[in-house]
Amino acid sequence: MSNLQIGLAIAGGVALAAVIAHSAWSSRRNTPRQAQPLQEPSADDLAQADASVAPSLDSDPLLGSVDADTPAFVLPRPPVRPAMDALIDVIATVALDPATPAVSGEAALAAMPATRRAGTKPFSIEGYNLQTLVWEVPSAGQRYGGFQAGVQLANRTGALNEIEYSEFVVKTQAFADTLNATPEFPEMLDEVARARELDQFASAHDAQLGFTLRARNASWSPGYIHQNAARLGFVAGAIPGRMVLPASVEGLPPVLVLGFDSQAALAEDPAQSAIRELSMHLDVAQVDRAERPFERMCEAVNALAAAMDGLVTDDDGQALAPETMGVIAGDLQLLYDALQQRDIAAGSLIARRLFS
């Protein structure tokens, strides 16, 4: 074999090796990263874990001292029940006939309208419980000495308009007629004007922030995303392709929402679904500022970027610099203060209703 033939053979072998290597590299690059299998803990690990978390009356913050006058456990406060508020509701009183000083909960429930909306605005009825002496949504087995009906002045669909106000009046009147009661309504033009002013304020102070995390190289499988997000406290949401970071109080909206392609999550073989980006969202008005939502959002997305080899960008694909994060954080503090001054603090019941 001549030197030329040998050289050509070597060159061909190198080229073939390069093609095979590139093919393997491309295949690996295009294969979604998979979740790592969890290792079963050993008996020694379990024993050490049990010892480290063994309950102690002196150290466990959920346990108090053993005292007859002190409860042993500090339970989380339950979520607050929705209630009307004159700040964001039109409220009409419904007075009972003097000949009927009380109405049963069953009768009130039977008189309720079929829907709880007037147009796009929530509509509600509350009764004054003669036993507990508080306003509440009517329930069976209780007796009520009067009622009030309300419709929300504004939400994210806009301000209450004249047509919606008229529907509110019709529903309330029908409820009152069934109970032989008399409603009293505020002046429509005044309430519609109040609704427009509230809607203008809400529109100017409604913030929903979003970051996008894009894969730099290899794509991700749904399981890979779940595994990494779970390490940061995220749990699976009710919708495929969605995870949430729960609030510290059960029943409140999540602090953060992480989302990716729902079709990838629903695929017959999700492990083969190639996901190249995910989003993280914060609905500012829905979350109490004490939860540190924006700080936790930055921490979470940066931690995911480091663990999953991703790049943090805005919705337009522009990389976000630390200076940009600082500007957003400063603007958010001003927004929180403005909501607080209007008695619509972020995360409060009234804010969650208004910004919905």
Residue range 299-356, pLDDT digits in tens: 999 999 999 999 999 888 889 988 999 999 999 999 999 999 999 999 999 999 999 9
pLDDT at 89 over 90: yes
- What is the predicted pLDDT for the residue at 283? 98
CATH architecture of 89-203: 2-Layer Sandwich (3.30)
- What is the predicted pLDDT for the residue at 277? 96
167-172's contacts with Cβ under 8 Å and 24+ in sequence apart are 167/118, 167/119, 168/90, 168/92, 168/118, 168/121, 168/123, 169/92, 171/113, 171/118, 171/123, 172/92, 172/94, 172/125
- What is the predicted pLDDT for the residue at 53? 38
Give 126 or 29, the one with higher predicted confidence: 126
Percent of the chain residues past pLDDT 70, beyond the cut: 79
Least confident of 55-59, 117-121, 135-139, 347-351: 55-59
Question: Are residues 280 and 271 in contact, defined by beta-carbon separation less than 8 angstroms?
Answer: no
- What is the predicted pLDDT for the residue at 1? 57
**Where is 117: in which H helix or E strand?**
strand 117-118
pLDDT at 140 over 90: yes
CATH number of 207-354: 3.30.1400.10
CA gap 154, 206 in Å, rounded? 13
Percent of the chain residues past pLDDT 90, beyond the cut: 72
Domain boundaries, the chain: 89-203, 207-354
Token reading at 313: 């960008």
pLDDT band at 172 (very low <50, low <70, confident <90, very high): very high
89-203 and 207-354 have identical folds: yes
- What is the predicted pLDDT for the residue at 275? 95
* pLDDT tens digits, one per residue of 208-241: 999 999 999 999 999 999 999 999 999 999 999 9
Instruction: Assign 3-class secondary structure to 195-226.
Output: HHHHHHHHHHCCCEEEEEEEECCCCECHHHHH
Token reading at 30: 């295009």
- Name residue, tokens 């109490």: 288
pLDDT at 82 over 60: no
Question: Are residues 160 and 195 in contact, defined by beta-carbon separation less than 8 angstroms?
Answer: yes
pLDDT band at 70 (very low <50, low <70, confident <90, very high): very low
pLDDT at 91 over 90: yes
Question: Are residues 255 and 316 in contact, defined by beta-carbon separation less than 8 angstroms?
Answer: no
Q: What is the mean pLDDT of residues 26-51?
A: 61
Q: What is the mean pLDDT of residues 137-147?
A: 97
Cite the DSSP H helix spans in 31-129.
Answer: 43-52, 105-111
- What is the predicted pLDDT for the residue at 343? 97
- What is the predicted pLDDT for the residue at 45? 54
Q: Which residues contact 212 (CB under 8 A, 6 or more apart)?
A: 277, 278, 279, 280, 312, 313, 314, 315, 317
pLDDT band at 68 (very low <50, low <70, confident <90, very high): very low
* pLDDT tens digits, one per residue of 251-299: 999 999 999 999 988 988 888 889 999 999 999 999 999 999 999 999 9
pLDDT band at 131 (very low <50, low <70, confident <90, very high): very high
- What is the predicted pLDDT for the residue at 309? 97
pLDDT at 166 over 80: yes
Mean of per-residue pLDDT scores for the chain: 86
